[in-house]
Structure 1
Amino acid sequence: MTENPFLGPALVEEATKKSGLIWVRGEGPERALWHLWHEGGVYVVGDGAGEQPLPGLADGGTAEVTVRSKDKGGRLVVWTASVSEVAPGSAEWEAVAPELKGKRLNAVDSEKVLERWATECRVLRLAPLSSTTELPDGSLAVPPVPSPATTRQPVPAALPRLLFSRRGAKKRGRV
């Protein structure tokens, strides 16, 4: 059976376009990043105030990108990418930055986000070099990245009594 040379690039493009997040590993830890697929590559923005971190991704380097299935969440394809930085004000920037702005959810300063990205952030292009759909032999589990976030505190002991008492049920119209 002959392998189709177009299947790998087509799978990379379609899976990446449809996925909301991609997992990217440069020289640092693997991170989930929101992204935009545009003209044969992925664009990510980060490393600025209020934006996603881009650890270990450097201009001229390479990265490993893992794309998950949107419906099942399982790993679909892994591809190696060349990393290049998009210069603010360039033709590529002018084509991509407004598209990225449209994908950016919950930006605090949505009117001035492009100016902030130009001065404080980096926009990177990840261009596919190779891909594989082979599953790994072992687990890909890694410890979580250190964070100041904490888990919830235990539920107060009185809360179930307040929620499920007869008086609370009357207020909700159940009794």
Structure 2
Amino acid sequence: MELTQALIEEATKKSGLIWVRGPQGPARALWHIWHEGAACVVGGPGEQPLDDLGLADGASATVTVRSKERGGRLVEWAARVAELPARSENWAAAVAELKGKRLNAPDAEGIEERWARECRVLRLEPTGATAPLPDGSLAAVPLATPVTTRRPIPAALPRLLRRKRA
């Protein structure tokens, strides 16, 4: 159990993004921090969307952590979701670290107030259960789309690409 917890903690700390799948919807990449034994995320208007995942206080989620260097799956772990009440002591501690990782915030000075008013801060606490690594490919078929390329690629493009490799 301790080895599993150490793997979860180290992999999640070092990963820039985690893939979270809640009770509904597909998995979504979320930026996070590791704080006091759990991954903490913030979501809402102007931040990453969480509502379509069904992440609510007491719900369960699955977190997939990938290697920052190679992109391969390191560990997939089960989590219990806990919503931190705005302006509580635990919320303030998590937000202090989250705001340091938030890049390009439009309102860096008032970010805590906006998060308290409009956003949710969630803790994804590991339950200790991990999924076995898959044997085969997990590649998904791309979603259908009406978007197409209107013109063929320029004739000179293959030559330009070859020149860059040399």
Structure 1 length normalisation: TM-score?
Answer: 0.78
Q: Distance in 1 between matches of 2:42 and 2:55?
A: 11
Unaligned runs of 5+ in 1: 165-175
Query: What is the aligned partner in structure 2 of residue 169 from structure 1?
Result: none
Match of 1:43 among 40, 62, 66: 40
Q: Distance in 2 between matches of 1:143 and 1:52?
A: 24
Opposite residue 122 of structure 2, the aligned amino acid is L
Q: Distance in 2 between matches of 1:59 and 1:118?
A: 16
Residue 82 of structure 1 aligns to a residue in which SS? strand
The Cα of 1:137 is off from its aligned counterpart by 3.9
Query: What is the aligned partner in structure 2 of residue 106 from structure 1?
Result: 104
Match of 1:30 among 10, 22, 27: 27
Higher-Rg member (1/2) = 1
Distance 1:89 1:141, change over 3 A: same
Distance 1:132 1:117, change over 3 A: same
Residue 108 of structure 2 aligns to a residue in which SS? coil
Match of 1:77 among 75, 78, 95: 75
The answer on whether the counterparts of 1:29 and 1:56 sit within 8 Å (CA) in structure 2 is no
Q: Distance in 2 between matches of 1:145 and 1:21?
A: 22
* Number of residue equivalences: 154
Distance 1:152 1:56, change over 3 A: farther
Match of 1:19 among 12, 15, 20: 15
Distance 1:130 1:110, change over 3 A: same
The Cα of 1:155 is off from its aligned counterpart by 8.4
Q: Distance in 2 between matches of 1:153 and 1:105?
A: 35
Residue 9 of structure 2 aligns to a residue in which SS? helix
Opposite residue 38 of structure 1, the aligned amino acid is H
Aligned-pair identity in percent equals: 62
Opposite residue 22 of structure 1, the aligned amino acid is I
Residue 112 of structure 1 aligns to a residue in which SS? helix
Residue 12 of structure 2 aligns to a residue in which SS? helix
Opposite residue 21 of structure 1, the aligned amino acid is L
* Runs of 4+ residues deviating >4 angstroms: 143-147, 150-158
Q: Distance in 2 between matches of 1:138 and 1:121?
A: 38
Q: How does 1:85-164 map to 2 (within 5 A)?
A: 85-132=83-130, 134-142=132-140, 157=154
What whole-Å deviation, never above 9, does each CA across 1:120-167 have from its counterpart, x for those lacking one? 1110000000243621244333456899xx788768859x59xx9xxx
What whole-Å deviation, never above 9, does each CA across 1:34-71 have from its counterpart, x for those lacking one? 0000110010000x222111122111100000001111
Q: Distance in 2 between matches of 1:72 and 1:24?
A: 19
What whole-Å deviation, never above 9, does each CA across 1:102-124 have from its counterpart, x for those lacking one? 01011111111111111111100
